[in-house]
Amino acid sequence: MQETRDGALAESGWPFVAWVVMPIWGFLALSRVLFYAIEQMRYPELIPPVSNDALQGILLLPFVIAGGWAVLESWRRWNSVAGILTLAASALLFASLARPMYGIAMWLLGNSDDTFSWLHFVNPAAPGFWYMWLANAVEYSVLYVSCVAAAMGLLAFRGLSRERALRAEVEMRATRERLRALRTQINPHFLFNALNIMASMEITRSPALAGAIARLGEFLQRTLTAAEEEDHSVAAEFACVESYLQIETLRHPDRIGSHVHVEPRCAGRIVPTLILLPLVENAVKHGLRSSQPRVLVDVHARSVGGMVELTVRNPCAVAPAPPHVADGGRGLRLVQDRLAMHFGDRASLEAGLVHPGDYLVRVRMPASDDEDLIMDWEDRTCSEP
């Protein structure tokens, strides 16, 4: 609460308070003048010239600014109780100045005291003197309190709006940092697996080793480039997936095959970077654990009713353990966290056995196009034998 109050009143200096108070006081004083102008037309013999009221409001303006500044300063420096006490004290002082300012305005405008002797501010013996003094005091104390309260409300609203904007910016930065942290968890993981591929090969198989190194370089280049972005196209995402699957195929040439398909209209859709790689890695890992002699990893992307649907299918003897238990569940949990950070409850992830021997992971997220993406993506099926 202290920080909110300080933020709301941080600009309570003379110039700023004057700019806030002047239009409010001008509106209130003008409303009073218009009221008495109407009354003067009805009772011209009783109501004095409204020019007195207009000049009175102008003469009281500096006292309104000074009082408003004092109230705001006491609230900012101490607390709301000090601000209320200052407002009450300044309202009493302001009320006592209302009647003298009216007399000064009458004198400056040259209105005759003979005609309106009951308005003379230094003649307590004049008829109706104390009544008019009290009436002016009550009326202007209400106007003063209303003006200062409105000014404080505007300042508080300004501070609250600025605080909300700052909080939204901080939350956005925190979200970006968390997403960046999630992405950095992916790169070392795949780099470690890729290096294991190099270690598992015989050094004498130089052609295969050279091809593996080239594939690894391509894969690292794609993933490191993607890690610098929060989002990229489905086509770019599938290029990373293809690089990874090619490396795994080199590692297990007799057991792993892949089938990658992207609908042409889906190629330019925007998805979080490296959102599929943990799922494809899990598919390869669990597929190799199955009893099938050959593992075919299917990766598909299509547009479904304004959503992007990404699916990964792999052979699996039994369903993997729940995400919070199995090591493979870390990939699912990572993808779930990133989807929640990007899309909230608008995205979904479903995983499970679709029929005996096959495991399917389906990701759906809102579709958006990259208008700057210029890509001639053919309707093709990329397969590794």
- Structural domain containing residue 90: 2-170
Same domain, 10 and 119: yes
Describe the strand order of the beta sheet including 380-384 as a list of residue ranges: 348-355, 358-366, 307-315, 295-304, 256-262, 380-384
Output the pLDDT for position 7.
45
Same domain, 12 and 148: yes
The answer as to whether 175 is a domain residue is no
- Could you report the per-residue pLDDT of 160-199, keeping only the tens digit for each? 888 888 788 777 777 666 666 555 555 555 555 655 666 5
Residue 206: burial class (beta carbons within 10 Å; 0-12, 13-18, 19+): exposed
**What's the angle, vertex CA 8, arms to CA 3 and CA 9, rounded to 5?**
100
Whether the CB-CB separation of 30 and 147 falls below 8 Å is answered with no
- The predicted model gives 68-92 an average pLDDT of 85
Residue that terminates a domain, selected from 170, 189, 224: 170
Same domain, 58 and 126: yes
Whether the CB-CB separation of 372 and 365 falls below 8 Å is answered with no
- What is d(CA 350, CA 360) in angstroms, rounded to the nearest whole number? 8
Residue 51: burial class (beta carbons within 10 Å; 0-12, 13-18, 19+): middle
The answer as to whether 177 is a domain residue is no
Same domain, 145 and 263: no
Residue that terminates a domain, selected from 170, 191, 219: 170
Mean pLDDT of the chain: 76
The pLDDT-based confidence of 34 (bands split at 50, 70, 90) is: very high
- The predicted model gives 315-321 an average pLDDT of 60
**How many CA atoms lie within 13 Å of 348's alpha carbon, on the beta-carbon side?**
6
Whether the predicted pLDDT of 316 surpasses 50: yes
Report which of 165, 241, 235, 274 is spatially closest to residue 378, judged by C-alpha positions: 235
Same domain, 141 and 251: no
The answer as to whether 183 is a domain residue is no
Same domain, 6 and 95: yes
Choice between 128 and 136, residue whose per-residue pLDDT is larger? 136
- The predicted model gives 267-292 an average pLDDT of 85
Q: At what angle do helices 129-200 and 50-77 cross, to 10 degrees?
A: 40
For the chain, how long is the longest CA-to-CA vector? 122
pTM over 0.85: no
Same domain, 365 and 283: yes
φ/ψ of residue 278, rounded to 5: -60, -35
Same domain, 231 and 316: yes
The answer as to whether 338 is a domain residue is yes
Choice between 154 and 59, residue whose per-residue pLDDT is larger? 59
**What's the angle, vertex CA 125, arms to CA 119 and CA 131, rounded to 5?**
55
Same domain, 305 and 165: no
**Highest mean pLDDT range out of 107-116, 292-301, 334-343?**
292-301
Same domain, 128 and 17: yes
Same domain, 34 and 91: yes
The answer as to whether 184 is a domain residue is no
Report which of 337, 359, 357 is spatially closest to residue 349, judged by C-alpha positions: 337
The answer as to whether 117 is a domain residue is yes
Report which of 143, 155, 170 is spatially closest to residue 27, judged by C-alpha positions: 143
The answer as to whether 294 is a domain residue is yes
Query: What total number of domains does the chain contain?
Result: 2
φ/ψ of residue 293, rounded to 5: -70, -30
Q: In CATH, what number is assigned to the domain containing residue 310?
A: 3.30.565.10
Residue that terminates a domain, selected from 170, 193, 228: 170
Distance of CA 287 to the CA centre of its chain: 42
The answer as to whether 178 is a domain residue is no
Output the pLDDT for position 195.
59
Element (H, E) at 61: helix 50-77
Whether the predicted pLDDT of 224 surpasses 70: no
- The predicted model gives 220-228 an average pLDDT of 66
- The predicted model gives 216-223 an average pLDDT of 69
172-185 CB burial, b ≥16 within 10 A, e <16: eeeeeeebeebbee
Whether the predicted pLDDT of 217 surpasses 80: no
Query: In DSSP terms, which residues pair with 296 in a beta bridge?
Result: 257
Whether the predicted pLDDT of 43 surpasses 80: yes
Whether the predicted pLDDT of 13 surpasses 50: yes
Element (H, E) at 355: strand 348-355
Same domain, 217 and 108: no
